Structure 1
């Protein structure tokens, strides 16, 4: 499978002529940020058996680590993010309670993740036990843990800087009531994700002066009911550049694009589940004014050779 077969490019602004620029001129005037992302890994450490089943031979954390390493060797500015449900689904979780997942993600140098509903499957105490093994940040803007043993353990957002480009990342989780046994989340309070997202955009744009705002969401991609999802969030909260979703295990060939009345574009993406795919989104920024010039996206199957275009 060749990368050009699933590479999708979206123009943002005056992108028509950029590809014709000499490579040295392009490199001197732009900064490329590569965002890699996963969701709903569900403790899938090994590849799926290659026995004729759907997705047979795909996935596996060792293979993902190799792919990420290859991309980091090629790209100077990489962010690696996850949208929740790291836990639950294989005997690895049953035996080790999430320790292995966090240790392997730390070795892969994940930068940040958010919490999914299954990350509460061993209760707040079980989550607390595993957090020391995670060498990356957990971001949660709409879960209030102040009345629990996890008070002050999570940040609502985090900022990163890559070659002068400032990126703000925040996390949103799904309502736990009805999905998780109440004893597993205790006094955790669920806050309105729309209001909290608007708060985060204001904080990251106005106070932190971020050039790019990313939401790690475990709300789910799309529901036919009034239940909040990533598509509704993109349409109701202005100022988010990228929503990286989870929960619904949605395989998307390319991000969905929403444009508000001011012309601001929000991309929504999700890459299935179980580490079968690694999502890649390349943002190119002008060095002069730090504005986005264009975006290129790809879905990278983990376990199949990828040929760079």
Structure 2
């Protein structure tokens, strides 16, 4: 499979080690690698984009992505596959199958978790409820209160995964629905302040859940100029999040943006465009004994037509 890989390196803290390549065997014996793969704003793009002269024409496609993900899983023992929302809406597949196909294909790819975007309410709460059984993966949502709706108790605020002794907490944040989604579509869903909510969840994940890595699946949007809450603001105001995987603004970042807090903690923000054209990848390394982060290698993998040779 042909891929245009944008490889970048990031130091983690004052004592961080940038992983310029694969670790030496001696170092590998003392470390654990965790691979995070992520998408956002898939918008029902099942097939590759048409090759009609448009930008990114011929790129994307769920079958190609599935092949690439499987290749990575064969190479790496500890993989998490995550999505930051807006799975639905954008092609006739959604109009015909009402989101069932998207959930089934993501389940086939073995997504580990996703969060809700505004377009995931396009069929109303009833439509979302109807399609949830087709998703074998959980949706995490911390700042939507569904307690007065038919989706009560359907979504946990976070999920904790464990990979080779490394505990990873993944929680979700959604954008304010009022003014963006019709009231009839979200009903009595209550929007909670993302910053205050994130602080509470991070405290629980770091404390009670003893997570070594905290990831936020955000559909707030990357950055706004009008003071609206976004991923940049979240990264700056909430310490303790290691990685914010964003959506909504269809922003393509060649490498994660790093925000350093006063006490030395770093929060990374990443987003990989839209329509499944790119697959984000972050390879964290951890000290096997202390479970502390020691390095990071990042890449953006372009989903393209495989190269054939005669």
Q: Shorter-normalised TM-score: what interval?
A: over 0.9
Once the two structures are superposed, residues 251-303 of structure 1 have per-residue CA deviations (whole angstroms, 9 ceiling, x without a partner) of 11100000000110000000000000000001000001100001111000011
Question: Measured at CA, do residues 116 and 5 of structure 1 come closer, stay the same or move farther in structure 2, by a change above 3 Å?
Answer: closer
2:10 matched residue in structure 1? 10
Q: Is 1:141–1:196's contact at 8 Å kept on the other side of the alignment?
A: yes
1:186 matched residue in structure 2? 187
What is the deviation of 1:304? 5.0
Equivalent positions of 1:53-92 (< 5 A) are: 53-92=54-93
Question: Measured at CA, do residues 254 and 94 of structure 1 come closer, stay the same or move farther in structure 2, by a change above 3 Å?
Answer: same
TM-score by structure 1 length? Answer: 0.95
State yes or no: 1:48 paired with 2:49.
Answer: yes
User: Which consecutive unaligned segments of at least 5 residues does structure 2 have?
Assistant: none
Once the two structures are superposed, residues 193-233 of structure 1 have per-residue CA deviations (whole angstroms, 9 ceiling, x without a partner) of 00100011000000000000000000000000110000000
Give the Cα separation in 1 of the matches to 2:107 and 2:200: 29
Give the Cα separation in 2 of the matches to 1:113 and 1:21: 29
What is the deviation of 1:19? 6.3
Give the Cα separation in 2 of the matches to 1:62 and 1:19: 30
User: Which consecutive unaligned segments of at least 5 residues does structure 1 have?
Assistant: none
Give the Cα separation in 2 of the matches to 1:153 and 1:22: 42
Q: Is 1:29–1:286's contact at 8 Å kept on the other side of the alignment?
A: yes
Give the Cα separation in 2 of the matches to 1:65 and 1:97: 21
2:269 matched residue in structure 1? 268
Equivalent positions of 1:91-102 (< 5 A) are: 91-102=92-103
TM-score by structure 2 length? Answer: 0.95
Question: Measured at CA, do residues 16 and 239 of structure 1 come closer, stay the same or move farther in structure 2, by a change above 3 Å?
Answer: closer
Give the Cα separation in 2 of the matches to 1:209 and 1:69: 30
Q: Is 2:2–2:303's contact at 8 Å kept on the other side of the alignment?
A: no
Q: Is 2:41–2:86's contact at 8 Å kept on the other side of the alignment?
A: yes
Give the Cα separation in 2 of the matches to 1:17 and 1:247: 30
SS in 2 for 1:69: helix
What is the deviation of 1:20? 9.4
State yes or no: 1:293 paired with 2:294.
Answer: yes
Give the Cα separation in 2 of the matches to 1:259 and 1:141: 24
Equivalent positions of 1:1-309 (< 5 A) are: 6-12=6-12, 13-15=14-16, 23-303=24-304
What is the deviation of 1:15? 4.8
What is the deviation of 1:4? 8.4
Q: Hey, which bits of structure 1, 4+ residues long, moved more than 2 A?
A: 1-5, 13-24
Q: Is 1:165–1:211's contact at 8 Å kept on the other side of the alignment?
A: yes
Give the Cα separation in 1 of the matches to 2:30 and 2:209: 24
